[in-house]
Amino acid sequence: KLLRVLEERRFERLGGNRSIHVDFRLISATNRPVDQFLRHGRFREDLYYRVNAFSIRLPSLRERPTDIAVLANRFIARYCAANGLPLDAKAFSPEALTRLHSYPWPGNIRELESTVSRAALSAPGRVIRDTDIEFLHPQATVTTSDAPPRVPTLAEAERAHIVRVLEGTAWNKKE
């Protein structure tokens, strides 16, 4: 039915008997290798050739590291605007940007956006430090030791966050 709509620009509603003409443009995206699915018979060839009239390949974030700082700054401005703060209320330290650049970003731009939001939320002051950045996939971080990274317990993560906030406020509990 989808092929018919793409070719004839007409469809019938479920239970209907009248043909409806539609004028649309189809834009589709995937994070899967469709050409491999095509070769293995897991994607219909006729559908592929109808929807693949014009193809744009957007490289992953790890393939374009120069975009990381630009996107991170855009996401921090969006976070500030959404929370009623001035757009320059939060900024990254050079060490934090270096840490963002050294991460492989398996979750791509969505992971970067959530990482930036988390860092902005947990950073006690105006400057987001490298210690304020927590990745979704800690096993994907670049480690210098041969030991596998250990995921902290909830109590350890909570304590570390409380200590970070207290250090950022000079141990002023009221703040």
pLDDT over threshold 90, residue 78: yes
Whole-number pLDDT of residue 144: 46
Say how many Å lie between the first and final Cα of the chain, rounded.
Answer: 61
Task: Report the alpha-carbon distance of residue 114 to residue 122 in Å, rounded.
Answer: 12
User: What tens digit of pLDDT does each residue of 3-55 get?
Assistant: 889 899 999 999 989 999 999 988 888 878 888 889 999 988 988 888 888 88
CB 41 within 8 A of CB 30: no
How many CB atoms lie under 10 A from the CB of residue 62? 12
Six-digit token string for 17: 């008997």
Q: Name the phi and psi angles at 3, rounded to 5.
A: -60, -40
87 token code pair: 């757009």
Lowest mean pLDDT among 40-44, 83-87, 139-143, 161-165: 139-143
Question: How far apart (Å, rounded) are the C-alpha atoms in residues 172 and 167?
Answer: 9
159 CB neighbour count, 10 Å cutoff = 12
Residues 6 or more apart whose CB falls under 8 angstroms from that of 77 comprise 87, 88
Residue 75 binned pLDDT confidence (cut-offs 50, 70, 90): very high
Q: What is the mean pLDDT of residues 118-139?
A: 87
What does pTM read for this prediction? 0.60
Residue pLDDT, tens place only, 96-112: 999 999 999 988 999 99
**Binning pLDDT at 50, 70 and 90, where does residue 143 land?**
very low
Longest Cα–Cα distance of the chain, Å, equals 73
- Contact status, residue 22 vs residue 5, Cβ threshold 8 Å: yes
